[in-house]
């Protein structure tokens, strides 16, 4: 049975050891980094840099605790993410969120280059075929996957599986285009964007958020450049009147996340990845949105494990046994005590991504929770 180490966000004593950074230090000792990483080994710390306006990412202090712990065993860490908006702009977002070499005591780099096109094709599986894994993720021998747990309009729940699947795959491949990037998880076929002018409120949130200027309104008519579009789905997610969409299938999407996660994990040797799930500032939506709403669930703590399925199951079990916070989107949607909050908010079969990951052999949903 896989061990999942847990430290609660509650601080009951006024001492550093009872703080969250102090507890993360302790968790990193308990899992034993030397069991996974070697002196002089390069270790990627995969996180999400967030988005301009979405500030509820994993705070730099936690990344710093991970780099410090890796340095203590002689490993050489760096912090990384893949391109979501053009690379120079994305590094500036990271910097504004406090993630830089000085704060995390390690280089902060883009895993797939300034344009998001430095990637390597990997065979993934029956659903998504080949995908473009960021070259740095592909080449580095070891990784700590630091995931901010939260909700997500498309995946319902977003944690480690999504961080591997969407977060370690590029948006675009030089010859295969979006079809080998993240877009192939979001949509299929030609991925033709559908716009309903009857429903459209002309709020322009969709064109504002497009990282590629692939959406333009002219005389209140939408013009979409399908050759440029990455099929990233950001426009679809910000549209509150459901007037814009990509062809999608929920079951296919959940299964493709697990397939992509397996492809990424397949570029690492045995026991060369560990997972840290941070259950704080659990907001209803993804950190790639242009803002962050107030948390829907109280801060819970930090989990660490070598087993991606176990840590995802443990995280979800904690979310499911939590209460909806007053004054949040959960209250707007009248989520009741005891209800599955993420399911009520997003109505997505999010457990499918975890069940499929287990079926594909990525880990075990049977876990032992070891509380620190």
Q: Which residues bind ligand SF4 (CB under 6 A)?
A: 200-206, 209-210, 212, 214-215, 229-235, 238-239, 241, 243-244
C-alpha 109/C-alpha 100 separation (Å) is 9
127 versus 210: smaller Cβ distance to ligand SF4:
210
Q: Are 309 and 331 in contact (CB under 8 A)?
A: no
Nearer to ligand SF4, 237 or 262 (CB): 237
Take residue 314 and report the two structure tokens written for it. 């443990």
Closest separation in Å from C-beta 289 to ligand SF4? 12
Q: Identify the helix (H) or strand (E) that includes residue 355.
A: helix 351-359
Token look-up 């509820």 returns 56
CB of 195 to ligand SF4, least distance (A): 6
Backbone angles phi, psi at 356, to 5 degrees: -70, -40
Pick 205 or 364: Cβ nearer ligand SF4: 205
CA–CA dist 22, 44 (Å, integer): 22
Q: Least distance in Å: CB of 230 to ligand SF4?
A: 4
Residue 229: CB minimum distance to ligand SF4, A: 3
In the bound state with ligand SF4, the residue whose beta carbon lies nearer, of 239 and 261, is: 239
Least separation, in Å, of the C-beta of 82 and ligand SF4?
A: 15
Helix H or strand E encompassing 8: strand 2-8
Minimum CB separation from ligand SF4 for residue 177, in Å? 12
We find the least distance from the C-beta atom of residue 246 to ligand SF4, in angstroms, to be 6
Rounded to 5 degrees, what are φ and ψ at 255? -70, -35
- 3's tokens: 């061990």
Using left for φ > 0, alpha for ψ between -120 and 50, and beta otherwise, residue 3 falls in beta
Query: Which residue lies nearer to ligand SF4 by CB, 56 or 234?
Result: 234
CA atoms of 165 and 160, how far apart (whole Å): 9
Nearer to ligand SF4, 231 or 313 (CB): 231
| Nearer residue to ligand SF4 within complex by CB, 79 or 257 | 257
Q: DSSP for 210-249?
A: -TT--EEEETTEEEE-TTT-----HHHHH-TT--EE----
């Amino acid at each position: 049975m896989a061990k999942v180490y847990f430290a609660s966000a509650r601080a009951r004593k006024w001492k550093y050891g009872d703080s969250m950074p102090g507890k993360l230090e302790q968790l990193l000792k308990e899992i034993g980094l030397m069991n996974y990483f070697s002196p002089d080994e390069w270790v990627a710390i995969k996180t999400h840099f967030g988005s301009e306006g979405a500030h509820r990412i994993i705070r730099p202090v936690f990344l710093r605790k991970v780099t410090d712990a890796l340095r203590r065993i002689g490993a050489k860490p760096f912090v990384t993410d893949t391109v979501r908006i053009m690379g120079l702009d994305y590094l500036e977002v990271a910097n504004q969120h406090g993630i830089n070499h000085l704060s995390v005591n390690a280089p902060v780099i883009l895993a797939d280059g300034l344009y998001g096109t430095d990637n390597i094709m990997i065979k993934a599986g029956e659903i998504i075929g080949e995908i473009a894994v960021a070259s740095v993720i592909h080449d580095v021998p070891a990784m700590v996957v630091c995931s901010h747990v939260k909700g997500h309009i498309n995946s319902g729940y977003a944690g480690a599986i999504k961080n591997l699947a969407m977060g370690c795959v590029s948006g675009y491949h030089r010859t295969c285009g979006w079809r080998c990037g993240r877009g192939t998880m979001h949509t299929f076929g030609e991925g033709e964007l559908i716009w309903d002018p009857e429903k459209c409120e002309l709020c322009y949130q969709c064109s504002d958020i497009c990282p590629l200027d692939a959406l333009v309104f002219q005389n209140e008519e939408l013009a979409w450049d399908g050759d440029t579009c990455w099929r990233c789905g950001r426009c679809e997610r910000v549209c509150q009147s459901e007037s814009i969409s990509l062809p999608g299938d929920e079951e296919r999407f959940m299964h493709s996340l697990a397939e992509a996660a397996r492809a990424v994990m397949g570029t690492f040797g045995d026991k060369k990845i560990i997972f840290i799930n941070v259950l704080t500032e659990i907001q209803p939506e993804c950190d790639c949105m242009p803002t962050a709403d107030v948390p829907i669930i109280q801060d819970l703590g930090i989990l660490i494990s070598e087993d991606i399925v176990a840590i995802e199951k443990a995280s979800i079990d904690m979310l499911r046994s939590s209460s909806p916070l007053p004054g949040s989107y959960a209250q707007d949607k009248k989520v009741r005590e005891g209800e599955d909050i993420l399911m009520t908010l997003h109505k997505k079969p999010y457990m499918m991504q975890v069940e499929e990951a287990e079926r594909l052999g990525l880990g075990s949903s049977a876990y032992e929770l070891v509380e620190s």
